[in-house]
Every structure is written in structure tokens, then in C-alpha cells.
Homo-oligomer: A and B are copies of this chain.
């Protein structure tokens, strides 16, 4: 039996493409033909699609290959973000996909699947998709993106290194074919992120990439309600547990917390006690907390538009390379988000009466990205911190009396969404969606078992302390305000839960609603952020325009 088939087949493919290449380099005009030599039908093809960089030229070329030659591909792609990513499915070049986040294309995926044109193999969190690259979903070919290369093909991935190292390692060390598009070729790289040794082919794509400022929020848009919830979070949870290793999701609620750190949190004496270590992208709204010495270390899964110069001048805070630029790594950062943090705070769209929550409330199936990974208890965690031990001590849901710790998973949500829909429901729409779309499981973002606290503008529900499922239900109803779920609360039970500090209203911990105003924010506008950053932060123009309106 031949146990070197992959290696031999790779050599054949490279040989076939050789006449189109100059050493490892492909000219753009030969790219499609070259891909037709390097890819074969039924290949697993991993297309890099991160939050903030995309192998767009390669994706485009892949969508233009001769379907007679290349077909039945199985695409592995963590984030599907642009129309041209869909072409390869629309044209039928690929008919299988494994992904993490499909943004606005979830619906179209579902349609293609229903027509039988696409098999959606699985929806993953980022980390589990990368994990499978090393077990049963190893790419035969990967199409990735880098900032710069030298002539030998060493890569500089810089601030948006993200998942590139994981994809390339899985492919290169399984005799797969690694194809990279780079924006620039230079003689000497500012630093090497990935050795040329792992790269088979490169193509130049000098066109600027359409990068979105996914993690940028304008402080001016933070409402007083969000500020109130942030105060509840800081005083009621961060302070109580001493949450010093933290991840924040994307949204105005967590931005409000960030902007209250050097003001409200500092006034409570929490500097050096909470949020010193954070696993987040370089969030502009963290600038005041960094400048105040409140936040000390940040590990980032990726970069953020406009933050490069700021990061470069704060190497004690961020991971940076020899050249001074950020080194992000989505895989390692997600690992830290699973195992090293004590508290995750995020938002959601719908929560049921048991605390199950999801951002998927229609047949659009965008996926979850990293939230389930970061917002879940790591059962295997064995190192302790005070925050984790206290949450574990409070936890009433253990199989027996053997003590354990628990990650604090906090959902911050207004009782009604801005659309007017209630955030709290008796039953998640996800259960209906599962049926309609014939999914193996309902698309739950965070299971109730993992959620420890919910904050609304009404107050805090501490689900850890609930002894029964009925108590949990009443605790959630007690902070669900005027939603139908909230109106069905049992007043007597609710009072009892408040007595037992399972339900906490602002006044119970000395927070006055009237104090929750923009005055508390360390920065009230994008311009404030720029100023506090000493002019190092350079937000995209559209944010500046909006602020001056």
C-alpha cells in the first residue's frame, strides 16, 4: 500500500503548474490556470476569510476556474464576508462548506442547502474549526493572505496575523498546497511571521483590502441605559468577584464598561483589581483605560482599523513584533478566551426563561464566531483564581458536593431590543428555526448551563445561586421588565430572590439611576478617543463625520 499518496500527488500538481510559475511566484494573469493545476476535484480548500483580511484575489480566481476541471470542492472558511466568497458556491464549483461565521450570507447558504446545491457540513466556533483542520478537516489546498513577502516567500502578516499560522501549519505539514496572496514584495521583511519553507506559491495583489472597523464604537452613541447596565456590571459583578482576566464581546454595553473603568471603576477603588488582563481586539474604547494604567495587558485575535500606530507605541500592553507592529493570533487568543479568563461579558438578541440565549432569531444563520467558546465554562480548567473559585462556590448546579470553579459568563441586554422586540422570550425562536431548516440542533449561542449572570436595565440576576430550575426562571423574569416574560413574574418569589441577593436592583447596591449619564464616560466622542490617544488613534473617516453631525 502507498502511504505517500498526498506527497506524490502534491509533487505532480506543482510540476503541472511549474511552467506558469517563476520559482514560487505566480503572475496574476496566470492565476486561474495555475489554480486549475494546483487544485483537484473533491479537494478540501481552505479559504482565509478573517474578520479583517481576506484572500480576495485568490477567492475571485477560484470562482473563475473551469468547472469541468475543478468541481465538488469542499470549502473550509471561517468567515464568509464578501459577495465574491459566494461565487464559488453559486457557480457550483464547491458543494460542501464548513464555516464559523457567514455574516449576511447565512440565508443564501440555507437556500442553496434546501435546493440540494450545497451541503452545510457544520457550523463551528473558530477554535473548533481550527481544531478540525488538524484532525478530519485538513485542507488539501489553502488560499491565504499576507501583508508582505520577501522573494523567497517568507511572510509578514503583521497586525492581522489572525488565523493564518494555524491554517498554513495544518496544510503545509500534511503535504497540502499553500498559496498566498501578498500586498507587497520586498527584499527584507520587517519581521518574519511565517517561514518561506511552508509556502508553495505566491501571487501579488496590491489592491487595497476592504477592511471593516468591526470593533469600533462611537462613545457618543452610548445611551444612559447602557451606562446604567455598565455600572451594575462593574459594581455588582466585576468588583464582587474581582474579575481581573476578562473578555468583552462587541457592542455598546461592553464599550460602556470600558469607558467607565478610569472613571466610575477607579472611583470605587477597582484599579489593579479588575480588567488588568484582557483578551480582545485592540478596541478603541479601551484607550482611556489603557492610558490610565487600568488595563495592563491585551492579547488580540486580530487587529482593528486605525489602531496600528497606537498599538505600536504601547508594546507593554499589546503583543507586538520586533518591528513594533501588533502580532495578533486568533487561535491563541481564543484559547486564552476559553481557559485563561475569569469573566466573559457580551450581548445577545434573545434569552429564554432558563437563560439559553442566541443571536440567531430568524432563518438567517450567520454563525457564532467565537462567542460560544469564550462564553462557556471550561470544564477542564484546573488552575484557580479568586473570581473563578467564588463563582464556583456559589454554583448550585453541581452533580454532587465536589467543589469546582466556574467561569463567569455575563449577558448584558436591555429588556427590549432597539427593534422593539422583547429580548426575553418563553421559548427561543431558535427551536422553530431548527425545525424549519432541518438542523441537527437548535442554533443556541450560549446554553443556560454556561450563563452565570444576566444584567438588564432592571437589575442583575445571579443564576449561580438559584437552587432549582423554577428559581432560575423567576430570577430571569424578575429582571425582564415589561416584557411578557417579565410581567409573568411571581411577585412574592421575586421579593424572596431579591432578599437572597439572587436578584439585585440598582438601589440594592447603591446605584442611582439618575447618575447613569454620559458624564461618567472617560471619552464622550471619537475625538476624545483621538485626543486621549495623543493623536495615535486614527479612526476611519466615517466615524469622524458621524461624530461631528
User: A339 interface residue, CB < 8 Å from B?
Assistant: yes
Nearest CB to that of A319 among chain B residues? B173
Which listed segment binds B: A211-219, A255-263, A321-329, A508-516?
A321-329
Report B-chain residues with C-beta under 8 Å of the C-beta of A392.
441
* Chain B residues with CB under 8 A of A277: 135-136
A84 interfacial contact with B, CB 8 Å: no
With contacts A279-B135, A384-B440, A441-B405 taken as known, whether A127 is within 8 angstroms of B335 at the C-beta atoms is yes
Copies of the polypeptide in the assembly:
2
Contact between A402 and B356, CB atoms less than 8 A apart: yes
A462 to B347, CA, bound (A): 37
Q: Among B136, B276, B320, which residue has its beta carbon within 8 angstroms of that of A340?
A: B136
**Interface contacts beyond A135-B341, A356-B402, A389-B441: sample of 20 additional A-B pairs, CB < 8 Å, sorted by A:** A3-B315, A3-B316, A6-B315, A123-B382, A124-B382, A128-B378, A131-B332, A132-B383, A134-B333, A134-B336, A135-B245, A135-B279, A136-B340, A169-B327, A173-B319, A173-B321, A191-B197, A375-B380, A389-B440, A399-B448
Question: How many whole Å from A325's CB to the nearest CB in chain B?
Answer: 10
Q: Is the interface of A mostly helix, strand, loop or mixed?
A: loop
Q: List 15 A-B contacts (CB under 8 A).
A: A5-B316, A122-B384, A128-B339, A130-B332, A134-B299, A154-B195, A172-B321, A173-B327, A174-B320, A192-B196, A192-B198, A382-B441, A399-B449, A402-B428, A403-B442
Docked pose: A431 CA to B400 CA in angstroms: 13
Query: Interface size class for chain A?
Result: 35 or more
Contact A1 B293 (CB under 8 A): yes
Task: List the B side residues contacting A382 at CB < 8 Å.
Answer: 122-125, 128, 368, 372, 441
Cβ of A447 under 8 Å from chain B: yes
What's the Cα separation between A208 and B382 when bound, in Å?
34
Q: Are A131 and B402 in contact (CB under 8 A)?
A: no
Give the Cβ gap from A197 to chain B, nearest Cβ, in Å: 4
Judge if A444 is at the interface, Cβ distance under 8 Å: yes
Q: A316-B4, A338-B131 are in contact. Are A379 and B380 (CB under 8 A)?
A: no
**Would A3 and B372 count as touching, CB distance under 8 A?**
no
- Check B376–A317 contact: CB distance below 8 A: no
- A166 contacts across to B, CB distance below 8 A: 332
Residue-wise, chain A 181-200 has the 8 Å CB interface mask toward B (1 for contact) of 00000000001101111100
Is there a chain B Cβ closer than 8 Å to A12's Cβ? no
Interface string of A210-247 (1 = CB under 8 A from B): 00000000000000000000000000000000001100
How long is the Cα–Cα vector from A354 to B329 in the complex, in angstroms? 40
Q: Please give the distance in Å from A536's CB to the nearest CB on chain B.
A: 10
Closest B residue, CB atoms, query A367: B382
User: Which residue from chain B places its CB closest to the CB of A98 in the assembled complex?
Assistant: B383
Q: How far is the CA of A341 from the CA of B132 in the complex (A)?
A: 9
